[in-house]
Amino acid sequence: MQDTKSDKVFSFFNYFLLVIVALLVIYPLVFVLSASVSNPAQVLRGDMWLIPKGFNLDAYIKVFNNEDVINGFINTIKYTTFGTAINVVLTIMAAYPLSRKDFYGRNLIMGVFVFTIFFSGGLIPTYLLIKDLQMLDTFWVMVIPNAVAVWNIIIMRTFFQTTIPDELRESAMIDGCGNIRILLKIVLPLSMPVIAVMVLFYAVGHWNSYFQALIYLQDREKFPLQLILREILIQSQTDDMIQATSESFAKQQLAVEGLKYAVLIISTIPMLILYPFLQRFFVKGFMIGSIKG
């Protein structure tokens, strides 16, 4: 069947708008990448639009010569890995029972969870609680306090309710499967798309987190990457980073400009690398979980 004239016009404008949106998304990323390897003076003058000019890696050398950045990378990988694992496991453990119609009191429990979205104890009570739990300045303060996001529980519970048929669970129970086995052998394999989404949401949250470390951590050896990069950008620079005591103000500005773009790339690239590995689960999500006759 051939497309009508109106279909062709619609397709043309659809592709045109998609190209415009893609350019709006891609250009800032390309610009920041090019600026990070360009001469900062040319970037400040506006000579660089897309292609790097005055290619140099001085900003990256200065950043990676800072031992705190390397240590922050390692810490952030630890926080992201362990934190995301804890987040996903607890979210599944909360969402699956709440999705079961035979779970008594699930509406009341869900209401209590939703209540916490609108009302919280606040920063000071939370700080005092964490202090009483002796988690201040520890590894666990970065992964335990925000171990579960209620919104993600709602997303996963809805997925279980709409995608996993009750008949499938009933058939498994007739065959002798218990609740734990049903979850591990049937529900989770059919739920990889939403699990991939949860992994991405939680991982990005941990990777970009700095406020929690700013409040609860004092030992620089435990600082995550984002907190180190924040210091590089907005606090007074150390002598060994940009030699502020011996350079003119103009050169200091150039050094900070180069560092700014290098820091953005360093903090963004890992998440951009992670996404393509999870994207295939999003595509499979359109078909997975259907009952085949």
Give the pLDDT confidence of 226-283 residue by residue, as tens digits. 888 777 766 544 444 444 444 555 566 666 667 778 877 888 888 777 777 766 665 5
pLDDT at position 55: 82
Name residues whose C-beta falls within 8 Å of residue 271's C-beta, 6 or more positions apart in sequence: 203, 204, 207
* 121 and 247 fall within a common domain: yes
* 109 and 134 fall within a common domain: yes
- Does any domain span residue 53? no
Q: And the tokens for 191? A: 């739920």
Number of domains in the chain: 2
* 160 and 211 fall within a common domain: yes
Give the whole-angstrom CA distance, residue 248 versus residue 4: 66
pLDDT at position 21: 92
- Does any domain span residue 109? yes
- Does any domain span residue 292? no
Give the whole-angstrom CA distance, residue 220 versus residue 71: 9
Q: What's the pLDDT band for 183 if we cut at 50, 70, 90?
A: confident
Domain containing residue 14: 5-45
- Does any domain span residue 270? yes
Does the pLDDT at position 293 exceed 70? no
pLDDT at position 6: 80
* 136 and 249 fall within a common domain: yes
- Does any domain span residue 293? no
Give the whole-angstrom CA distance, residue 112 versus residue 248: 58
* 155 and 114 fall within a common domain: yes
* 154 and 268 fall within a common domain: yes
* Average pLDDT over the chain, rounded to an integer: 81
* 69 and 157 fall within a common domain: yes
* Best CA proximity match to 189, nearest among 116, 49, 57, 92: 92
Q: What's the pLDDT band for 169 if we cut at 50, 70, 90?
A: confident
Contact between 255 and 43 (Cβ < 8 Å): no
pLDDT at position 244: 46
* 105 and 36 fall within a common domain: no
- Does any domain span residue 123? yes
* Best CA proximity match to 96, nearest among 87, 86, 106: 106
* % the chain with pLDDT above 90: 21
Burial class (CB in 10 A: 0-12, 13-18, 19+), 232: buried
Long-range contacts of 159-167 (CB under 8 A, 24+ apart): 159/191, 159/193, 159/194, 160/95, 160/96, 160/99, 160/187, 160/191, 161/99, 163/190, 163/191, 163/194, 163/289, 164/99, 164/190, 164/191, 164/289, 165/291, 166/101, 167/291
* 235 and 280 fall within a common domain: yes
- Does any domain span residue 290? no
* 96 and 32 fall within a common domain: no
* 41 and 114 fall within a common domain: no
- Length reported for the chain: 293
- Does any domain span residue 291? no
> Which CATH number is 62's domain given?
1.10.3720.10
pLDDT at position 132: 92
208 or 289, greater pLDDT:
208
pLDDT digits (tens, 9 = 90+) for 40-62: 777 777 777 888 887 888 878 87
* 67 and 40 fall within a common domain: no
